[in-house]
Amino acid sequence: MSNTADVIIIGGGVQGASLAFHLAQRGLDVITLEKQFVGAGATGRSSGLVRMHYDNEVNSRLAWESFKYFTNWEERVGGDCGFTRTGFIQIVARDQQDKLRANVAMHQRIGIPSLVIGADDVKRLAPSFATDDFDVAAYEPESGYAMPSDTASALMTAAREKGARLVQGCAVTGIKVAGGKVEGVETTQGDFFAPVVVNAAGAWAGQINKLADVEIPFDTWRHDTMFVVRPPEIGPSHPTVIDFPKELYFRPEGGLTLVGLEDGNPLGESPDSDSDHAKSGFVDRAIDRICLRVPVMDQGGLHSAHGGYDGITPDQHPLLGTAGPDGFYLDCGHSGTGFKTAPAVGRCMAELIVDGAAQTVDISSFAPDRFARGKAIKGNYETIWH
């Protein structure tokens, strides 16, 4: 294999795989360097929700464009992403319902199939849910979830079919710069050369930024999830849900329900810490929380639980664009919401690299220098990590 390319991508998660696919589709010679294997980091631990409900229009547009990939995967990419339509419900507290209505109005203006429904409608959609602590919710009837590892693998396979190259078990140890311009990278498998290097290293992206002398606020955050065996009273499935009042999210998968919490997610831990097991106390808290929303779930049983790490920024939005030496790009800091936007982000980043600007969605508000410019992004309510 030649060690030279047009673009080097650091990281073989869903974001790196999507970018590799879209760059290869544009005819560029791409090498993706992955220190473990495709989807080994945050992608493999993602909850896989596919929905468009955000309080930031750029995120909603990216999710909407990506949704068109997930629902037409074989035609647009090839292989299988495992998309399953369940319908999606966003529950908010009563004092947040005006903001939710404004969000849904924005989604409808974009073209997203979303509407505001009442608590009684939620009860009809999911009879096992407790609905006494909210009045309205957002509903996306076409949304659901996909399988993150399958998604990343399909994107990388399609990229390789178009000529992209993948090197696994290859950790980047240095960024090669001369005259203020990127020349390539140093790795545990030797040097690789390209005039463009993209940091898509997920939770490890902060370490890569340091190698390039890029100083941008960046941290890691941990997210634990569990799977519970659903009691038969709930039925064969249920909607996918983000639940602000109870600070949790959950979705079905076969006879199981995945549950994650929105609170108690530690910041600043090493991404190499144990992720095969959930933190002490997480399972008890998660069981208590899911039983508040779905009381009959107390008759279910624990199947498994684990953790994961992702990169996070101060405003919980990604870093997309140039930073540091010429030719160095960031596609990181997705703060736990990057799976569902990955197809569109990869396309937009390819447009930025090849054409000089993204055309599919304007991602300029996510420019990495926004913190230095005092342009941190603010929404109606805090971003939900999942």
Which tens digits make up the pLDDT trace of 114-150?
Answer: 999 999 999 999 999 999 999 999 999 999 999 999 9
> Is pLDDT of 304 > 60?
yes
The answer to whether 350 touches 341, Cβ cutoff 8 Å, is: no
A 10 A CB-CB count for 355 gives 10
**In the prediction, which pLDDT does 378 show?**
82
CA dist., res. 33 & res. 3, Å (int): 11
Domain boundaries, the chain: 7-46+149-219+313-370, 86-141+220-309
User: Collapsing DSSP states into helix, strand and coil, what is residue 204?
Assistant: helix
Q: pLDDT > 90: what percent of the chain? A: 95
Which amino acid, residue 23? L
Contact partners, residue 112, CB within 8 Å, separation at least 6: 52, 60, 64, 140
Quick one: CA torsion of 340, 342, 344, 346, rounded to 10 degrees? 180
Mean pLDDT of 245-268: 95
> Is pLDDT of 339 > 80?
yes
Q: To which H or E segment does residue 186 belong? A: strand 181-187
The answer to whether 146 touches 161, Cβ cutoff 8 Å, is: no
The answer to whether 40 touches 88, Cβ cutoff 8 Å, is: no
Q: Does domain 7-46+149-219+313-370 bear CATH number 3.90.1140.10?
A: no
Question: Encoding tokens for residue 99?
Answer: 């903001």
Residue with the larger pLDDT of the pair 37 and 2:
37
Mean pLDDT of 103-118: 97
> Is pLDDT of 336 > 90?
no
Chain mean position to CA 311 = 10
Mean pLDDT of 173-183: 97
Confidence tier at 1 by pLDDT (50, 70, 90) = low
The answer to whether 301 touches 315, Cβ cutoff 8 Å, is: no
CA dist., res. 309 & res. 316, Å (int): 14
Q: To which H or E segment does residue 236 belong? A: none
Among 214, 173, 159, residue whose Cα is nearest residue 32: 159
Rg (Cα) of the chain, in Å, rounded?
A: 20
> Is pLDDT of 384 > 90?
no
Contact partners, residue 331, CB within 8 Å, separation at least 6: 15, 16, 19, 198, 199, 200, 318, 319, 320, 345, 349
Instruction: Give the DSSP per-residue string, 296-364.
Output: GGGGSEEEEEE--EEEE-TTS--EEEE-SSBTEEEEE--TT--TTTHHHHHHHHHHHHHHSS-SSS--G
Q: To which H or E segment does residue 220 belong? A: strand 219-222
The answer to whether 221 touches 308, Cβ cutoff 8 Å, is: no
Question: For the domain 86-141+220-309, what is the CATH superfamily, name and number?
Answer: D-Amino Acid Oxidase, subunit A, domain 2 (3.30.9.10)
Which amino acid, residue 321? G
How confident is the model over 66-98, as pLDDT tens digits?
Answer: 999 999 999 999 999 999 999 999 999 999 999
Tell me how far CA of residue 215 lies from CA of 17, 202, 312, 323, in angstroms.
25, 16, 14, 9
Quick one: CA torsion of 224, 230, 233, 238, rounded to 10 degrees? 60
Confidence tier at 152 by pLDDT (50, 70, 90) = very high
Q: How many CA atoms lie within 13 A of 43 on its CB side?
A: 30
> Is pLDDT of 385 > 50?
no
> Is pLDDT of 353 > 70?
yes
